Amino acid sequence: MGKTENNKAWFLVLPVFVIVAFSAIIPLITVVNYAFQDILGPQDRYWVGTEWFKEVLTDDALQEALLRQLVFSTAVLLVEIPLGIVLALGMPARGAGASAALVLMALPLLIPWNVVGTIWQIFARGDIGLAGWFINGPLGLDYNYTADSFDAWITILVMDVWHWTPLVALLCYAGLRAIPDAYYQAASIDGASRWAVFRHIELPKMRGVLLIAVLLRFMDSFTIYTEPFVVTGGGPGNATTFLSIHLAKIAVGQFDLGPAAAISIVYFLIILTLSFVFYNVMIRVGTGSSKS
Amino acid sequence: MSRSRIVVIVWYVFLLLPLYWLFNMSLKTNAEILSGLTLVPRNPTLANYRTIFTDPTWYSGYINSLTYVVLNTLISLSVALPAAYAFSRYRFIGDKHMFFWLLTNRMAPAAVFLLPFFQLYQTIGLFDTHIAVALAHCLFNVPLAVWILEGFMSGVPKEIDETAYIDGYGFPRFFLTIFVPLIRSGIGVTAFFCFMFSWVELLLARTLTTVNAKPIAATMTRTVSAAGMDWATLAAAGVLTIVPGALVIWFVRNYIAKGFALGRV
């Protein structure tokens, strides 16, 4: 599809540029400002160069938080993407059930994130929560997410699966609905197996939406804050202190402006690099496949 | 029954159980909650909901949240519509870089912006107003809106634009009377996503407000007190935060299938 060359189009983009720049560039300048200075008071500030960066990058707490974050995001993708595909394949395609299934599926996505945290905090508690009571009682397992690191991890992961798998499922569902019936008819005439239909018809058609799903899920899990903060507060110990929680502890909890700003910049550069890689992969795959 | 059907049924049970539990608790008294597990409330009571609807500190939270969410949706849509048109129809200097830069803001962690936003909005005197939260949420909603709308607009054949221009339509008139009605399902879907991401966000909303524009999600932290957790009221407040979302989904249910592909199927 040929686009016209027209630099006046910038006037149409200008409002977006202004409004996003206001929220993105000014704060970023503030952060850079803090990252290179030691600020003791309004008139009392010193240039410290890259000292904060050295301090922050050699800090074990940050490295551990980063590692934890990578493990968590990988786990999220490994569970949610396949599960989302299976759910999308199994959801009713038409009829009255389809509407209800869609609405229910989308429900967790529209619950405020801290309420999601609250729901799971209650649900997983040993004393008043159904799940916590069930695991400790009838199942006979020793489960307590506020004391045991492993239990806390499982709780956060299950919560994230509950919260965000619907997004993957709905994206895939949308991709599947765009496949004309003729494809399936042709496949059944050829005697194709269920797996062959999935592998050669459904999966290629879902490629575009799957990429969006992977991108969104990776980025959003990489910046997760509210839900684990409500459920575990980053604990027990530091077991569920992900990058954003670590950053918020230093910025708002301890009010260490310099280190917080340095972490922010490192964090932001990681995000920028990952976005760049994903974006380019998306463009390449997007133009190569059925972007009609 | 196929295997994937079984997975789906198990999923829906898993999906609904925590929600049922929240609803169940919202109908109990604190005494009953703490006295042991009951699958159905012994004496269902609406007292918790009455507390929320009669106490201004509670219900004003809902009004504040809805106010900034609606403001944000309106701002996002009105700036994103022309920009998305530009991205879908024209090539211009720096267009790809601009698009990428927008997307990075959608991906940026809110925690990074916490402190700068706090200071920025205090400096310009918008702290603790609805418009401050609405503007802050533009950081991730405007890029998303541009992205979704661009997808929908690219699906509209260019010949329509060209024919309209030949017929003597100017850009504003063409855009408002012909083009916007053509992509109204896309606009509905975009509004849905803006509403969703603004409604569920708490970190920025809580940081930028103290009293006057305090969101409901932040009010809920009030239930922790010296006397212990007020679980019942917390559960009732939680149930009520799900209601607006459920209503919005119900309205766009016919577009969800197409909408979640962000116009890119």
State residue B223's pLDDT score.
Answer: 64
For chain B, percent of residues with pLDDT exceeding 70: 93
The answer to whether residue B91 is domain-embedded is yes
**Phi, psi dihedrals of residue B169, rounded to the nearest 5°:** -75, 135
Same domain, A155 and A221: yes
Q: What is the mean pLDDT of residues B11-31?
A: 89
Mapped onto helix, strand or coil, the DSSP state of residue B224 is strand
In this structure, the answer to whether residues A33 and A116 fall within a common structural domain is no
Q: Whole-angstrom Cα distance, residue B253 to residue A92? A: 14
Mean predicted lDDT score pLDDT of chain B: 85
Instruction: Give me the pLDDT at residue B226, please.
Output: 57
d(CA A163, CA A110): 9
Range of the domain at B118: 54-259
Query: Which helix (H) or strand (E) element contains residue B148?
Result: helix B130-154
* List of chain B residues whose C-beta atoms are within 8 Å of the C-beta of residue A102: 253, 256-257
In terms of domains, do B71 and B21 share one? no
**Structure confidence at residue B141 (pLDDT):** 92
How far apart, in whole angstroms, are the C-alpha atoms of residue A191 and residue A174? 26
Interface contact flag, B115 A175, Cβ < 8 Å: no
The enclosing domain of B72 has a CATH number of 1.10.3720.10
Q: Which residue of A has its CA nearest to B171?
A: A12
**H-helix or E-strand containing A265?**
helix A257-288
Is A162 within a domain? yes
The confidence score (pLDDT) of residue A165 equals 94
Average pLDDT over residues B170-182: 89
Whether A102 sits inside 8 A of B4 (CB atoms) is no
CATH no. for residue A267? 1.10.3720.10
Could you give the CA distance from residue A68 to residue A244 in angstroms, rounded to a whole number?
11
Considering the domain architecture, whether residues A72 and A45 belong to the same structural domain is answered as no
Same domain, A155 and A42: no
- Give residue-wise pLDDT tens across range A22-31: 888 888 888 8
Nearest residue to B136 via CA among B164, B97, B171, B108: B108
* A160 pLDDT tier (thresholds 50, 70, 90): very high
What are the b/e assignments for B214-253, b being 16+ CB within 10 Å? bbbbbbbeebeeeeebbbbbbbbbbbbbbebbeebbeebb
Residue B137 and residue B107 share a domain: yes
- In this structure, the answer to whether residues B22 and B66 fall within a common structural domain is no
Domains held by chain A: number = 2
- End-to-end alpha-carbon separation of chain B, Å? 29
Q: Determine, for residues A268 and B108 on separate chains, whether the beta-carbon distance falls below 8 Å.
A: yes
Question: What is the token pair recorded at B234?
Answer: 């917390």
pLDDT one-digit tens code per residue, A85-112: 999 988 887 777 888 888 888 899 988 8
Assigned token pair, A85: 């595909």
Q: For residue A96, tell me if it sits in a domain.
A: yes
Regarding whether A226 and A171 lie in a shared domain, the answer is yes
The per-residue pLDDT for A86 is 92
Average pLDDT over residues B231-239: 87
Q: For B92-129, write each residue's pLDDT tens digit.
A: 888 888 888 888 888 788 877 877 888 888 888 888 88
Task: Specify whether A207 is located in the same domain as A63.
Answer: yes
The answer to whether residue A113 is domain-embedded is yes
Residue B261 tokens read as 């592909």
Nearest 10 degrees: CA dihedral of A140, A230, A152, A76? 120
Q: In this predicted structure, what is the pLDDT of residue B15?
A: 92
| Residue A5 backbone phi and psi in degrees, to 5 | -80, 120
User: Could you tell me if B99 and B139 lie in one domain?
Assistant: yes
Question: Is residue B71 very low, low, confident or very high in pLDDT (cuts 50, 70, 90)?
Answer: very high
- Residue B264 counted as domain residue: no
Identify residue A232 by its one-letter amino acid code.
T
Q: How far does the CA of residue B123 sit from the closest CA of chain A (Å)?
A: 12
B146 and B195 housed in the same domain: yes
* A131 in the same domain as A27: no
pLDDT band at B75 (very low <50, low <70, confident <90, very high): very high
Does A171 fall in a domain?
yes
Strands A4-5 and B90-91: parallel
CB A258 within 8 A of CB A38: yes
Tell me the mean pLDDT in the region A107-127. 87
Question: Mean pLDDT, to the nearest integer, of B61-73?
Answer: 92
pLDDT in tens, A200-229: 888 888 887 888 888 888 888 888 888 888
CA A134 to chain CA centroid, Å, is 29
Residue type, B213: A
pLDDT above 80 (res B154): yes
Question: Do residues B97 and B191 share a domain?
Answer: yes
Cβ(B89)–Cβ(B170) below 8 Å: no
pLDDT average, residue stretch B214-221: 79
Q: Where are the beta strands (DSSP E) in chain B?
A: 90-91, 224-225, 228-229
Q: In terms of residues, how long is chain A?
A: 292
In a domain, A92, yes or no: yes
The distance of B255 to chain A (nearest Cα, Å) reads: 10
Q: Do B249 and A177 touch (CB under 8 A)?
A: no
Kindly state the percentage of chain A with pLDDT values over 90: 11
**Residue B244 falls within a domain, yes or no?**
yes
Residues B157 and B197 in one domain: yes
Instruction: Give the pLDDT score at B5.
Output: 81
Residue B230 within a domain: yes
Are B249 and B139 members of one domain? yes
Task: Please name which of A106, A129, A282, A210 lies closest in space to residue B261, comparing C-alpha atoms.
Answer: A210
Final residue belonging to a domain, choices A49, A75, A93 = A49
Would you tell me how many other CB atoms lie within 10 Å of the CB of residue B6?
Answer: 11
Residue A6 lies in a domain: no
| Residue B137: closest CA among B222, B89, B57, B72 | B72
Examine the domain organization and report whether B180 and B235 are in the same domain. yes
| CB contact (8 A) between residue B14 and residue A162 | yes
Co-location of A205 and A141 in the same domain:
yes
State the distance between the two ends of chain A, measured CA to CA, in whole angstroms: 10
- Together in a domain, B104 and B127: yes
Q: Are residues A140 and A258 in the same domain?
A: yes
State whether A107 and B246 contact (CB < 8 Å).
Answer: yes
Contacting residues of B for A261, CB less than 8 Å apart = 115
Rounded Cα distance between B25 and B44, Å, is 9
- For residue A163, the enclosing domain spans 59-288
**B265 found inside a domain:** no
Q: Does residue A189 have a pLDDT over 50?
A: yes
pLDDT at A72: 93
Pair (A18, A112) in one structural domain: no
Whether the pLDDT of residue B261 is over 70: the answer is no
Token reading at A208 = 């575009």
Selected residues 219-238 of chain A with any CB under 8 Å from a CB in chain B: 219, 222-223, 225-226
Q: Do B36 and B120 lie in a common domain?
A: no
Residues B110, B77 share a domain: yes
Is A124 in the same domain as A167? yes
Tokens matching residue B239: 């149930």
The answer, yes or no, to whether the previous bond of A236 is cis (omega within 30 of 0) is yes
Per the prediction, chain A carries an average pLDDT of 83
Q: How many CB pairs under 8 A join A and B?
A: 286
Residue type (1 letter), B101 = W
Tell me which residue of B131, B147, B168, B115 sits closest to B261, measured CA to CA.
Answer: B147
Q: Which is higher by pLDDT, B208 or A254? A: B208
Asked whether the predicted pLDDT for residue A245 surpasses 50, the reply is yes
The mean pLDDT of B184-203, rounded to a whole number, is: 86
Count of structural domains, chain B: 2
Residue A289 pLDDT > 50, yes or no?
A: no
Inform me whether the pLDDT recorded for A255 exceeds 80: no
The predicted model gives A136-145 an average pLDDT of 78
CA distance A146 to A232: 6
The reply to whether A177 falls in a domain is yes
Q: How confident is the model at residue B100, as a pLDDT?
A: 84
Quick check: is A9 in a domain?
A: no
Do residues A135 and A192 share a domain?
A: yes
Ranked by mean pLDDT, the top range of A49-58, B132-141, B182-191 is B132-141
pLDDT at A290: 41
